[in-house]
Structure 1
Amino acid sequence: MPRVSRKQSEANHDAICDAAARLFRERGLQGISVAEVMSAAGLTHGGFYGHFDSKEALAAQACSRAFGQAKERWAKRHAPFRKPSRARLATVDHHLSVSSRDAPGESCPVVGFAGDVAREPDDSPLRDAYTEGLKHLLAEFTALSDGRDMSSRRRQALADFSMMIGALVLSRATRGDALSEELLDAARKTLHAQERS
């Protein structure tokens, strides 16, 4: 069997990370096997260990990939707005939408990986990747806040971001009941009202 070129190997690695980032957000780490990830990437199970030492190593890279994708989506979403506060509300509106609720594999990695990360040991590479990604998104969100001193902006951003995350988690958990959309709507309206005050 001929060896895969370096370029093809890198493309395969990226395909595995992309598939894992989507699948882990959709079904959690325990809900997905290595074979399923490889199949979703269009590759055979046997090639996995040529790219990763373990499923845990893949999870850490997939988490980093998911946060990188979120960063790119945020940049595109914010680009049309000159005022940071408008960009912030665009993030709020997207995050607290039915489409975000219904597409866990393509939406927020903060929500998608949180349950698995919470069960990881303190020195886990997955926990490290998650924490770094979360810190970056929080810094971006804080930068979109108007006025006030940095300490107040940071505190408000932490509270608002926590509300967004919590509302999305609860909305997914109650999908199919009217409460699901009520949770999204209440959080979205609260955050819009804060912006106007």
Structure 2
Amino acid sequence: MRVTRAKVAEHRRSILSSASRLFRERGFKDVGVAEIMQASGLTHGAFYGHFRSKADLADEACRDACAEGLERWLSSADLSDILDRYLTPAHRDDPASGCALSALGAEVARQSPELQKSYAEGLKSFIAAMERHMEDGTPEARHRQALSVLAAMVGALTMARGVAGGDPELSAEILDTVRREIRDYFGA
């Protein structure tokens, strides 16, 4: 029985979605192809009809996760809206559905140059999206501000996740403090 093109595209989308979620939740090394395919509702054998390798899938899943997050940012009314959704305990506690920049950052540093390039492209897109919310100065100044705010946000989320189980109060303090400081500085 032949599978329609629409069904092939649906299967590929399911694989990408499962991989993106699992990679953000547990990292590239701790997730196998068999697990991704099972989460997709497909057989392990079907994998190679869609991707050449796990590395190929990881690259596409990284791009997919960045695009998903960017879509949410672009729908945000302003910087305050982004801060209120990003620097929260709910986002901290759900890396599988959250920001790829934070969830995959340390992982990407140990991956192929191709995957690092995809991550860099995603990062540049987030910086450009953040620049829309920077109102003062030259385009270069807005770019520097956007980069600084994004680095503070991703860093805060990463640190808050790192201590959430061992010191929940510190985790909450990190999120609250960085959110307030950015808001105060930019009047958001």
Same fold (TM over 0.5): yes
Quickly name the TM-score band, shorter chain normalised. Answer: over 0.9
Q: Does structure 1 conserve the Cα–Cα contact (< 8 Å) formed by 2:23 and 2:31?
A: yes
Q: Unmatched 5+ residue regions in structure 1? A: 82-86
Q: Does structure 1 conserve the Cα–Cα contact (< 8 Å) formed by 2:80 and 2:183?
A: yes
Establish whether residue 99 from structure 1 lines up as the match of residue 98 from structure 2: no
Q: 2:95 aligns to what SS in structure 1?
A: coil
Establish whether residue 110 from structure 1 lines up as the match of residue 109 from structure 2: no
Establish whether residue 163 from structure 1 lines up as the match of residue 165 from structure 2: no
Corresponding pairs, count: 186
What is the TM-score normalised by the length of structure 2? 0.95
Q: Which amino acid aligns with 2:41?
A: G
Q: Unmatched 5+ residue regions in structure 2? A: none
Residue in structure 2 matched with residue 17 of structure 1 by the alignment:
16
Which of 119, 122, 139 lines up with 1:130 in the alignment? 119
Q: Tell me how far 1:48 sits from its aligned partner.
A: 0.4
Q: Does structure 2 conserve the Cα–Cα contact (< 8 Å) formed by 1:57 and 1:125?
A: no
Residue in structure 2 matched with residue 153 of structure 1 by the alignment:
142
1:5-48 C-alpha deviation (Å, 9 max, x unpaired)? 11111100000000001100000001100011001111111100
Establish whether residue 49 from structure 1 lines up as the match of residue 40 from structure 2: no
Q: Distance in 2 between matches of 1:73 and 1:34?
A: 28
What is the TM-score normalised by the length of structure 1? 0.91
Q: 1:105 aligns to what SS in structure 2?
A: helix
Structure 1 moving runs of 4+ over 3 Å: none
Superposed, 1:40-79 pairs within 5 Å as: 40-76=39-75, 78=76
Q: Tell me how far 1:3 sits from its aligned partner.
A: 2.5
Q: Distance in 2 between matches of 1:3 and 1:57?
A: 25
Residue in structure 1 matched with residue 176 of structure 2 by the alignment:
185
